[in-house]
Chains A and B, each alone.
Chain A
């Protein structure tokens, strides 16, 4: 793997109070690639993902050590607001703001004082989230009137509007129906041209479909990490094989 990396986790340990959730993880997120993080529930995959952009800061009992390198700096020692500006996040359940579609997109750039043409930004963001054609005539309607799948694509558009370098997705399709899921997966395929993506999913087929690299987590440890095809066709670890063949999880 002599690819360019955007984020590097080194010896990352994460705790909730006394309980350790992630054990000594080393993981690279590669540039313009989709990295899938898979594993059974409670294996620490979401926990790790949320640490990458400091979203775990809001959990009172949370603590961690190790190093998460991003652009030559340790995320843990950087300003969380700056980190989150450059590393966007899409959540499990669509969470559009109760505002118009237009205002959902421009809220981020606006609070950071980005001087851009908002109309153009809204169009380009919605286009890259494959939502433009569906909503171009009702940009000023409430985002809450959209369907669940559309709302999730709006959340992706909102993230894209910030022009982040990395996009983290925390089971972005788990609340969506199969058709919406396929649309999001297609979208992830397109987004890799411009962004580096890390996606947590417990749907293995999804990981196989959308990702270039896959990391398998089990009980807080990174068991195996490599090219997705390799992991799914020829896993080196017994536990990986058991999981992807559906023997547990």
Chain B
């Protein structure tokens, strides 16, 4: 008996050490990466870096076009993908379609979330750029990215809606409420923090996307800020990609600087998502 417990305890210890080691390893990689990027990029980080146009002289180059392009692109993407994604999730969860059709839609949405982003780029190129004639505009880019993140928004919103206790719905129905009143009076407000978390994470994924935007032909050298959704544009990751692929080493430092800015933006978005989730988890428990 005693022996058995001893060997169990030993296994327990080994398992714990293995878990700790692997966790530490992944954190370590991140730290090394961040350290390396900061070391290479810090010397170009300055106010001018944020406000200058791109240039063929490294010391004059900046990411103003990238920043503005990213802001425009993400804002438009949010305007397109959030309403469609959240309403689709509501429809799928609350107005359940039974039988085969419901299953087909469900599996499709789940699968779409796993499609490589470059495939969405090709889709965007064919439909939005060529067929709809939006050209290589912000609108094409935003619609392509919306396609890309919509499945993610739908899946996470559905989870948030599913987590709303049925007891709340029945309580409201028992007062003679209609489905619409139940959904907008109770389900959506309760699910909102969860939905927002998913939306923010999806948008922060969209900010980092490069491949689909290259496919639809977003530019890398732009020296103006967009003024309408039909304007051509560039974004931060494209700018970084462009710099990183140049032979002149100075540009690699610029790329590192751009990466720092991009990481800062994404991390603050993720931080906001975590904050929202923590505040929400205190609220509803039944």
Quote the shortest CB–CB distance from B43 to chain A (angstroms).
Answer: 52
Contacts of B171 in A (CB 8 A): 91, 95-97, 155, 158
B177 within 8 A of A: yes
Contacts of A96 in B (CB 8 A): 171
CA distance A88 to B175 in the complex (A): 6
Partner among A84, A93, A144 whose Cβ is within 8 Å of the Cβ of B175: A84
Stretch binding the partner chain, chosen from A107-115, A191-199, A216-224: A107-115
Contacts of B172 in A (CB 8 A): 97, 107
Contact A98–B173 (Cβ < 8 Å): no
> With A91-B167, A97-B186, A111-B185 as given contacts, are A144 and B174 in contact (CB-CB < 8 Å)?
no
Contact A81–B170 (Cβ < 8 Å): no
> With A107-B185, A111-B185, A144-B285 as given contacts, are A97 and B168 in contact (CB-CB < 8 Å)?
yes
CA distance A84 to B284 in the complex (A): 25
A159 within 8 A of B: yes
Contact A159–B174 (Cβ < 8 Å): yes
CA distance A86 to B176 in the complex (A): 8
CA distance A107 to B189 in the complex (A): 14
CA distance A96 to B172 in the complex (A): 9
Contact B175–A98 (Cβ < 8 Å): no
Contact-residue bracket for chain A: 20 to 34
Flag B143-177 by CB within 8 Å of A: 1 or 0 each. 00000000000000000000001011011111111
CA distance A89 to B190 in the complex (A): 22
Contact A162–B167 (Cβ < 8 Å): no
Contacts of B7 in A (CB 8 A): none
Flag A104-135 by CB within 8 Å of B: 1 or 0 each. 00011001100000000000000000000000
Flag A148-159 by CB within 8 Å of B: 1 or 0 each. 000000010011
Question: Which residues on A are within 8 Å of B, measured CB to CB?
Answer: 53, 55, 58, 60, 81-86, 88-89, 91, 93, 95-98, 107-108, 111-112, 144, 155, 158-159, 162
Contact B174–A89 (Cβ < 8 Å): yes
> With A88-B175, A162-B176 as given contacts, are A111 and B167 in contact (CB-CB < 8 Å)?
no
Contact A58–B173 (Cβ < 8 Å): yes
3 nearest interchain CB pairs?
A85-B176, A108-B175, A95-B167
Question: Which residue of chain A has the shortest Cβ distance to B285 in the bound complex?
Answer: A144
Q: Which of B162-211 contact A (CB under 8 A)?
A: 165, 167-168, 170-178, 181, 185-186, 190
Contact B170–A95 (Cβ < 8 Å): yes
Contact A107–B175 (Cβ < 8 Å): yes
CA distance A51 to B177 in the complex (A): 17
Contact B168–A111 (Cβ < 8 Å): no
Quote the shortest CB–CB distance from B13 to chain A (angstroms).
Answer: 42
Question: Which residue of chain A has the shortest Cβ distance to B98 in the bound complex?
Answer: A60
Contact A81–B167 (Cβ < 8 Å): no
Contact-residue bracket for chain B: 20 to 34
> With A95-B168, A111-B181, A111-B185 as given contacts, are A88 and B174 in contact (CB-CB < 8 Å)?
yes
Contact A84–B168 (Cβ < 8 Å): no
Partner among B170, B177, B283 whose Cβ is within 8 Å of the Cβ of A98: B283
| 20 extra interface residue pairs, beta carbon distance < 8 Å, beyond A88-B175, A96-B171, A144-B286 | A58-B170, A58-B173, A81-B177, A82-B176, A83-B176, A84-B173, A93-B286, A95-B168, A95-B286, A97-B171, A98-B168, A107-B175, A108-B175, A111-B178, A111-B181, A112-B176, A144-B284, A144-B285, A158-B171, A159-B174
Contact A93–B284 (Cβ < 8 Å): no
Question: Which residue of chain A has the shortest Cβ distance to B175 in the bound complex?
Answer: A108
Contact B175–A53 (Cβ < 8 Å): no
Quote the shortest CB–CB distance from A75 to chain B (angstroms).
Answer: 13
Contacts of A112 in B (CB 8 A): 176
CA distance A111 to B182 in the complex (A): 10
Contact A55–B176 (Cβ < 8 Å): no
CA distance A158 to B285 in the complex (A): 19
Contacts of A144 in B (CB 8 A): 284-286
Contacts of B174 in A (CB 8 A): 53, 55, 84, 88-89, 91, 159
Contacts of A60 in B (CB 8 A): 98
> With A98-B283, A107-B185 as given contacts, are A162 and B175 in contact (CB-CB < 8 Å)?
yes
Question: Which residue of chain A has the shortest Cβ distance to B179 in the bound complex?
Answer: A81
> With A81-B178, A82-B176, A107-B172 as given contacts, are A95 and B165 in contact (CB-CB < 8 Å)?
yes
Q: Can you give 11 A-B contacts (C-beta < 8 A)?
A: A55-B173, A60-B98, A84-B176, A85-B176, A91-B171, A97-B168, A97-B171, A98-B283, A98-B286, A107-B175, A111-B175
> With A91-B167, A97-B168, A107-B185 as given contacts, are A158 and B284 in contact (CB-CB < 8 Å)?
no
Quote the shortest CB–CB distance from B52 to chain A (angstroms).
Answer: 50
Partner among A55, A83, A158, A162 whose Cβ is within 8 Å of the Cβ of B170: A55
